[in-house]
Structure 1
Amino acid sequence: MTKMLASVNGGDEAEIALAGGADIVDLKDPAAGALGAVAIDVIRQTMGTVAGRKPVSAVAGDLPMEPDTIRAKVEEIAATGVDYVKIGFFPSADAVACAEALASLAARTRLIGVLFADLQPDLGLLAVLARHGFHGAMLDTAKKDGRRLLDHLPPDQLHGFVDECRELGLKVGLAGSLEAPDIPRLLPMLPDFLGFRGALCDQSQREGAIELEAVRQIRELIPDERPAGTASSVDYRLLAARGYSPGAVDPSLGTDKIFVRDFVLPVQIGAYSFEHGHTQKVRFDVVADVLRVTHAPEDMRHVFSYDIIMDGIRTIVARGHVQLSEALAEQVAALVLEDPRVMQVRVRVEKLELGPGGVGVEIERKRASEQAHSARHHGIAPADSLFYGGGQKGSSS
């Protein structure tokens, strides 16, 4: 399960984070940079406040990439007994040497190497971290200028980072001015933790104090390991982890149609030889029928985000060449139906460069229970539509 990491500046904020349900209490000084370190006595005091209720991490500071400097600071922080120490790896020719200098310490302390999405991170460092015994790696942003992690790296590249960490045996975290709407976009990647600071503060000002209600709202967007039977108001893709099922929703609430229209991307697609080795423009139209969970949606806890659809399409396209429009449409439909609230989805894939009009396919797919219901009442499942321009014609490959 993905855990929630809440960055705090000391014991008082740690208590708020714990009351709001944070899984990891992370110590940092927001006024001292992206990874500003708090004083050692603040770490010790906060450790006493938390008293083992949740794991505690601490950042080592925005340090120069000097092996001796970094090792000395990390050793000092590790001596406080924190569960994790986070070390920033800024672009430097000495980054590998810094990782090597921490190898012996990594054998007894869980170290997290932090790369920065807005500083052209060298993902080759992940293998170095793994080789020298680091516990995990995470992506953050170095410049707190209002731009978020997803402003610097698209979902398909973040998927690559997460997958690479997994292959290397590293725990993986994502952070970087994350906001509530980012959560449903990142959860499908299954990171081990998501890190927050600004989103927990008044008016999202990271140097302000964190607020209990803000912590709770973020917590409610991240499925946690609650005991069976515990009530929850969260309604996202991993809701099955909390026992969510479509049958638990009041049917009188009905469904909403969430759509993405005229979404055009360059795609490697086609069965003909002349279509290989380059991209062509493809237009996607997707309409999902989504179960409502409340009469009065108020925030991201109550909606299905259209960003999930667009991110999913981008990720599928980034995997490489697809032979058939039908195959591409099926992949998009399957991705949308992963959310247990989606009852059916209509996907239209249209190639725009093969003639005076578009050519492609439109499919409609339902959740298995809905498909069975339709078959019983109509005796046949909905047919796919092949089209050329405004009418149906031939193959869509």
Structure 2
Amino acid sequence: MTRMLASVTGVDEAEIALSGGADVIDLKDPKAGALGAVSTQTIRRTISLIAGRAPVSAVCGDLPMEPETIRAKAEEIAATGVDYVKIGFFPTANAAACAAALEPLAARTKLIAVLFADLAPDFELLPMLAGHRFHGAMVDTAIKASGRLLDHLPPERIPGFIDRARSLGLMVGLSGSLEAPDIPRLLPFAPDFLGFRGALCGHSGRVGSISPEAVAQIRDLIPEASRAGGASSVDYRLLAARGYSPGTDPTLGTDKIFVRDFVLPVQIGAYSFEHGHTQQVRFDVIADVLQVTDHPEDMRHVFSYDIIMDGIRTIVARGHVQLSEALAEQVASYILENPRVVRVTVRVEKLELGPGGVGVEIERKRQSAGRGVASGPAGRKDQSAVSRARQERPEAIRRAVKPAVVKLGGSTADAAEMADWVAALAGSRLPIVIVPGGGRFADQVRETQIYMDFSDTAGHDDDRQPGT
């Protein structure tokens, strides 16, 4: 699960952030730069206040990239007893030497390297950081006036960073003047944490004081992992989608969210002359989205069209696509992973193959079984499945590997470990069939039946199987 990191200046703000549900308390002085450090006395006082209720991190400051200077400051911060020490890696030829100087400390303290999206970050540093025993890496912004994270690190580049870091065993974080609308765009990438400062300060800006109201607004947009000894507040419908939306009310109906005339250069085409270069492709998407409320007020209540555009950019960035139909299917599948989307229409139109546009339009909907219908130029029907998540997994492998069956009894729904169990299952590369029990799971089946429209027979099928 993605955790919420709240950057605070000391004990007073730490108490507000902790009371508001922040998962990680991060100490920094925003008046002293992107990674302005607070005093070690402030760190110790804050650790004492928190008393183990949440992990604590602290930054080392905007330091020159000199190995001994960085090592000495990191040692000083680590001596306070923080759980994580964050160290900025500004562009320099000294990066490897700085990381090497920190390796002895990394053996006993969790070090997080901070790269900067607005300073041309070199993600080739990740293997070096892992080799020197760093615990994690995150991307932030150095010059706050220059824009937000997504202004400098477009969505299509984020999966590459996260996947590379994860493959090296590194924890992954995203930060950089993040605002509420950024959260639903970043959650599908499943970073280990999202970091906030300015968004927690309301209208006073990042150098102002954080407010309980602003903390609550951000907290409500991120699914909360269970705390030790407490019930989980995770909405289990959302784990597979790696995203978040609050519970929907099927009686309110749907809204249509659309993206029109969205044109991108795409590597696409089956002909040899279409390989090796891009051509302009226009996307039109309409998504039918379940309403949360008939009085929408903030990002908790809407499905952002940015999610659609981010998904298209991410898919296009993967490389050459042979067919317009395949590209449309991938876009539809990506959008349908969000549990609020019940139907999506995707048109993919190639603009450079003649005097007019050519392409395909498909419609896919969320349903328990059955086929979707794609209307192409000739009006033919496509008999592919409705929502084929993870299309990149080879079909031969799916056929060869037998699925594992995992039973989750109704009594486990509120287990403190449940979020970790389900996250591990969702992240597995093996095919898994989850058999839910009764209790809250059965209640969810009844709620889902309202808008997925499956039969009572399907909804109660497990009741006839002994031992389920």
TM-score (norm 1): 0.91
2:120 alignment partner AA: Q
- Aligned residue type for 1:385: S
Residues 127/242 of structure 1: CA separation in 2 closer, same or farther (3 Å cut): closer
2:442 alignment counterpart? none
Alignment match, 1:269: 268
Match of 2:417 in 1: none
| Aligned counterpart, 1:6 | 6
- CA shift digits 1:10-29 (9 cap, x unpaired): 00000000011000000000
Map 1:250-289; keep pairs closer than 5 Å. Answer: 250-289=249-288
Aligned partner letter, 2:223: P
Task: Report 1:230-309 matches (<5 A).
Answer: 238=239, 249-309=248-308
> Tell me, what secondary structure is at the counterpart of 1:265?
strand
Question: Shift of the alpha carbon at 1:225?
Answer: 1.6
CA 1:229 to 1:75, structure 2 compared with 1: closer, same or farther past 3 Å? Answer: closer
1:36 counterpart SS class: coil
2-side partners of 1:284 and 1:242: how far apart? 23
Name the counterpart of 1:385: 375
Could you say if the C-alpha distance between residues 88 and 318 of structure 1 is closer, same or farther in structure 2, counting changes exceeding 3 Å?
A: same
Match of 1:318 in 2: 317
Deviations 1:123-157 (A, max 9, x none): 11111110000000000000010510000011111
CA deviations on 1:66-102 (whole Å, 9 max, x unpaired) are 1111111110110110000000000111111000000
**Structure 2 residue aligned with 1:375:** none
Q: Distance in 2 between matches of 1:216 and 1:382?
A: 40
Q: Is the 8 A contact 1:29 1:37 kept in 2?
A: yes
> Partner letter of residue 281 of structure 2?
V
2:306 partner amino acid = D
Amino acid at match of 2:90: F
The alignment partner of 2:355 has SS state of coil
Partner Cα distance (2:244, 2:31) in 1: 41
Mapped partners of 2:259, 2:328: distance in 1: 14
Counterpart contact for 2:224–2:232, Cα < 8 Å: no
Change (3 A) 1:249 1:196: closer
When residues 206 and 109 of structure 1 are mapped into structure 2, their CA distance, relative to the original with a 3 A threshold, is same
2:155 maps to 1:161: no
Counterpart AA for 2:366: R
**Aligned positions of 1:1-397 closer than 5 A:** 1-145=1-145, 147-203=147-203, 205-226=205-226, 238=239, 249-369=248-368, 372=370, 383-387=373-377
**Cα deviation code 1:91-124 (max 9, x no counterpart):** 1111110000000100000000000000011111
Deviation at 1:392, TM superposition (A): 6.2
User: Shift in Å at residue 359 of structure 1?
Assistant: 0.5
CA RMSD across the alignment: 2.4
1-structure distance, mates of 2:287, 2:25: 38
* 1:385 to partner: Cα distance: 2.0
- The Cα shift of 1:212 comes to 0.6
Distance 1:106 1:25, change over 3 A: same
Residues 243, 382 of structure 1: CA spacing in aligned structure 2 closer, same or farther, 3 A cutoff? closer
SS in 2 for 1:384: strand
Contact 2:238 2:244 in 1 (8 A): no
The two structures have a TM-score, normalised by structure 2, of 0.77
Q: Deviations over 1:329-357 (max 9, x none)?
A: 00000000001111010000000001111
Q: Which moved more, 1:249-258 or 1:309-318?
A: 249-258
Distance 1:203 1:278 in 2: 46
Q: Please list the CA deviations of residues 257-291 of structure 1 after superposition, one character each: whole Å capped at 9, or x if unmatched.
A: 01100000000001111111110000000000000
Structure 1 residues 4, 67: closer, same or farther in 2, change over 3 A? Answer: same
Contact 2:365 2:372 in 1 (8 A): no
Instruction: Return the offset for 1:243.
Output: 11
CA contact under 8 A between 1:238 and 1:339: conserved in structure 2? no
Amino acid at match of 1:179: E
- The percentage of aligned residue pairs carrying the same residue is 72
Please state how far the C-alpha of 1:215 moved relative to its aligned partner.
0.5
Q: Which runs of 5+ in 2 are unaligned?
A: 383-468
AA in 1 matched with 2:137? A
Kept in 2: contact 1:146–1:177 (CA 8 A): no
Compared with structure 1, are the counterparts of its residues 229 and 109 closer, same or farther at alpha carbon in structure 2 (3 Å cutoff)? closer
Q: Which SS does the other structure have where 2:123 is aligned?
A: coil
**SS of residue in 2 equivalent to 1:286:** strand
State the distance in 2 between where 1:211 and 1:160 align.
34
| Gapped regions of structure 1 (runs ≥ 5) | 373-380
Deviation at 1:226, TM superposition (A): 3.8
**Quick check: 1:236–1:301 contact (8 Å CA) kept in 2?**
no
Distance 1:243 1:356, change over 3 A: closer
Q: How many residues align?
A: 380
Query: CA 1:90–1:189 in structure 2 vs 1: closer, same or farther (change >3 Å)?
Result: same
Give the Cα–Cα distance (whole angstroms) in 2 for the partners of residues 244 and 159 of structure 1: 21
Q: Is the 8 A contact 2:137 2:172 kept in 1?
A: yes
Three-state SS of the structure 2 residue aligned to 1:181 is: helix
User: Which is bigger in relative contact order (C-alpha 8 A, separation at least 6)?
Assistant: 1
Change (3 A) 1:172 1:277: same
1:313 Cα deviation after fit? 0.3
Equivalence for 1:377:
none
Structure 2 CA distance for partners of 1:18 and 1:229, relative to 1, 3 Å:
closer
Does the Cα contact within 8 Å between 1:239 and 1:340 map onto a contact in 2? no
